[in-house]
Amino acid sequence: MSNYCITFNICYHANIGKLKIDYGLVPVKSENGKWKSEVSNEIFEGLKQKKFGYVKFFKNKNQVYCQIIAEGLGSDMADSEESLLFLAEHYIRTKIPFRFKYKKVLRERIKRILNP
C-alpha cells in the first residue's frame, strides 16, 4: 500500500465574502526521514506524528490548513481517496468545533469530490 498526502486549505476571502477550499492529494514516499512527493520535488516538513499518520495543522482567524500523510487503504489512488477524505474531514472537524460555516463548506466540498 502507498502513502498519500492530503491537503485542505479553508480560507475566508473578505473581498468576495466567501469561504474557499483548496484540496490536493499526492502520493508520497519517505526519504531520509523526510516525506517527498512522487509527483514533484516538494518536501513535506513540520509534521507531527499521530497514531494514524503524520499531521500539519494550523488555524487563524480567516484560515484553517491541514495536511495529513497516511497510508491509503485501497490498491490505487482512486480507491484510497475516499478513506483519506473521511479521515481528513473527521480530524479537521474535531479541531474547529465552533466554526460551523467551515464545517458545512468542508462537507459540501467532500461530497463534490466523491460525486463529480
Evaluate whether 47 touches 56 at the Cβ level (below 8 Å).
yes
Predicted confidence pLDDT, tens digits, the chain (116 residues): 689 999 999 999 988 889 999 999 999 999 888 899 999 989 999 999 999 999 999 999 999 999 999 998 877 888 889 999 999 999 999 999 999 999 999 999 999 999 87
pTM score:
0.89
Domain count, the chain: 1
pLDDT (0 to 100) of residue 78: 83
Query: If we measure between CA atoms, which residue out of 50, 30, 46, 49 comes closest to residue 38?
Result: 30
Structural domain containing residue 89: 3-114
